[in-house]
Amino acid sequence: MKTFIFLALLGAAVAFPIDDDDKIVGGYTCPRNSVPYQVSLNSGYHFCGGSLINSQWVVSAAHCYKSRIQVRLGEHNIAVSEGGEQFINSAKVIRHPRYNANTIDNDIMLIKLSSPATLNSRVSAISLPRSCAPSGSQCLISGWGNVQSFGENYPDVLQCLKAPILTDSACRKAYPGQITSNMICLGFLEGGKDSCQVSFSVLLLAKPQAFPPYFPFPETQIEKLSLGWIIRDKGEIWDK
């Protein structure tokens, strides 16, 4: 079965967590440099993740918004300098105009880098999807989120997790009254693995509140909702 890649926005602050629900539970340590589009958003500390979509633009979650952000590319262990990292400040941080912090609808934002990233084996862009992935598709999520369902354990090294897209009916049953037409669910109904309040590749994930670790989680679909916004309103990201 084909694995779809998540734009890896999974975030978890090391020293100053912004949300205790940022998690990636039941995953594994990503092979070094295997997720070259993954970025760390830094404001004196790591607080969220994002994905490089071309040399000068990053997509992340709107709930990660700060007016000034340093984007760190080529990271694996965020606690040390391993060589090859690139630190680039933001020139613009643009939230989706219809982002709703209460419902977490339209949970997507764009970050324009002040200078283009140097693309190489450690830093490369991921293409945005051109169609919606069907239920049952396996998705790759990555980030530095809390790896424990209960308590805290924020890893310094990048974590990966593969999880399936669930049907719309299963999604709405898991989150009654909370799923908008812009959201889908990704996860495991049987439990053991989970990823909360994050955003990653084919999809952007947004979890409105803490749920039991055996629940799947909802997300904003880039391809369904936000791709048109990116191309229509921020078309300069495709400029050479």
> What does the pLDDT look like over 195-229, one tens digit per residue?
433 333 333 333 333 333 334 444 555 444 445 55
Euclidean distance between CA atoms 229 and 96, whole angstroms: 8
Higher pLDDT pick, 15 / 205:
205
Euclidean distance between CA atoms 227 and 47, whole angstroms: 24
- Domains identified in the chain and CATH numbers: 9-15+37-126+225-238 (2.40.10.10)
Provide the whole-model pTM.
Answer: 0.77
Average predicted confidence (pLDDT) for the chain: 74
Point out the least confidently predicted range of 48-62, 112-126, 225-239.
Answer: 225-239
